[in-house]
Structure formats: structure tokens, C-alpha cells
Structure 1
Amino acid sequence: MKTWKLVSGILSIILFVFVAFQSCAAGVGNALAENGESGGSAGIIVAVLLLAGGIVSICARKGGRGLNIALIVIFGIGAVVGFTMAGSFADLNIWAGWCLINAVLAVVSIVKQK
């Protein structure tokens, strides 16, 4: 699990850049279309949670149970926000899926440590 946490942390930090730029573009599109959707804003929240989760994931590879719980909370919130607020910003479902995968694997890591 140490290798997975390092890899997922690095990928999450890299994905932060893509999700942030994509969410800014989606937010501008929502504002110009005046459609009342909040997919771009939700994408920015998911991007920040990806960054935070990536940093915690890199730190959690040698850590204990508390850091895994933090990963579950951070990536879990990112998944919930992404899935519930995506709207027409369909790519946000992909990023929320990545958050869900990381949250589930943090649960697996806790179970495996016992």
C-alpha cells in the first residue's frame, strides 16, 4: 500500500492542475450561458481536495491509522461533491470517481493494517 499511496498522491497532485483549469473553463461557460449550474465551482472544490488528498496521501504512506482516516474524509468529500454537483460538466464525474477509488483504497489500507 505504500507504493500505491505514493503513486496516487503524485497523480492526485498532477490531476489538480488539470481539474482546476478545466473547472475554470466550465465555470466561465456556465457564467456565459447563464444556466445556473455550479459544476465549475464544484470542480474547483474537487481540485483543491485532490491537492490536499495528494499531499496527505504522500505523507500517509508511512503513517498510521489517523492519516488514512483523513484520506477517507478528504477524498470522500471530493467524491460526494463531484458526483452530486457535476451537472453538465460530465468530466467532474471522472475526477469524483478517482476520489472514490482513493477513499476506498484508504479503507482497504486501514483494514489491512489490523
Structure 2
Amino acid sequence: MKVWKLISGILSMVLFLVVAFQSCAAGVANTLAENGEVSGSAGILVAILMLAGGIVSVATRKSEKNGGNIALIVLFGLAALLGFANYGSYSDLAIWSGWCLLNAVLAVVAMLTGKKKTDVES
């Protein structure tokens, strides 16, 4: 799981730029269309949470404690929830929310498998 945390962390930090630029464009489009949607603003929040999750993922990849995994579950889970709830006309936000959900699920798997390893070693 150490390699996955490194790869997903780096990808999340790179995807932050893509999501942020797309969200700005979607926000401008929502404002010009005056359609009342908040998908651009939600996209910016998803991008920020994705960046934070990527940084935490890279920083805690070698840690054997569950604090980093819990932080990843909260950050990526909140980003996925926020994105899926508000994607509206900015349909790419559902894709980025799916990426965040995948990372949250894999953090749960890492936490559960890491706990089993420590139980066997004791």
C-alpha cells in the first residue's frame, strides 16, 4: 500500500490543477448563465480537499499508525460526498469525485489490512 499511497498522492496533487482550472471555468459559466448552480464552487472545494489528501497520502505512506489513513478517509470522503452532491452541469466533477471515493476506499482497506498485520505480529 505504500506504493499506492505515493502514486495516488502524486496523482491527486497533479489533478488538483486540472480540477481547479475546470472548476473556475464552470463557476464562470454558472455565473454567466445565472442558473443558480454551485458546481464550480463545489469543484474548487473538491480540488482543495484533493490537494490536502494528496499531501497527507505522500507524507504518511510509510507510517504504520492509522492516523494518516483516518485523515485520508475524512479528506477524500468529504471531497467525494461534496462532489457527488453538487456536480450539476459540471459533469466532470463526478469523475473527480469518483477518484476521491476510490482513494477513501483504499485508505479503509489499508487501515484494515494494516491492523491485521499488527495483530498477527503481536
Q: Which residue of 2 aligns with 1:6?
A: 6
Q: Which residue of 1 aligns with 2:91?
A: 90
1:33-48 correspondence runs (5 A): 33-48=33-48
Q: State the alpha-carbon separation in 2 of the partners of residues 88 and 106 from structure 1.
A: 30
Q: Is the partner of 2:88 in helix, strand or coil?
A: coil
Q: State the alpha-carbon separation in 1 of the partners of residues 73 and 87 from structure 2.
A: 21
Q: State the alpha-carbon separation in 2 of the partners of residues 71 and 59 from structure 1.
A: 11
**1:60-92: CA deviation from partner (whole Å, max 9, x where unpaired):** 111120010000000000000000011111000
Q: Which residue of 1 aligns with 2:24?
A: 24
Q: Which has the larger radius of gyration?
A: 2
Shift of 1:5: 0.1
Shift of 1:41: 0.1
Q: State the alpha-carbon separation in 1 of the partners of residues 112 and 69 from structure 2.
A: 10
Q: Which residue of 1 aligns with 2:53?
A: 53
For these two proteins, the number of residue pairs brought into alignment is 114
Identity of aligned residues (%): 67
Shift of 1:25: 0.1
Q: Is the partner of 2:37 in helix, strand or coil?
A: coil
TM-score normalized by the length of structure 2: 0.93
Unaligned runs of 5+ in 2: 116-122
Unaligned runs of 5+ in 1: none
Q: What's the RMSD between the two structures over aligned residues?
A: 0.4
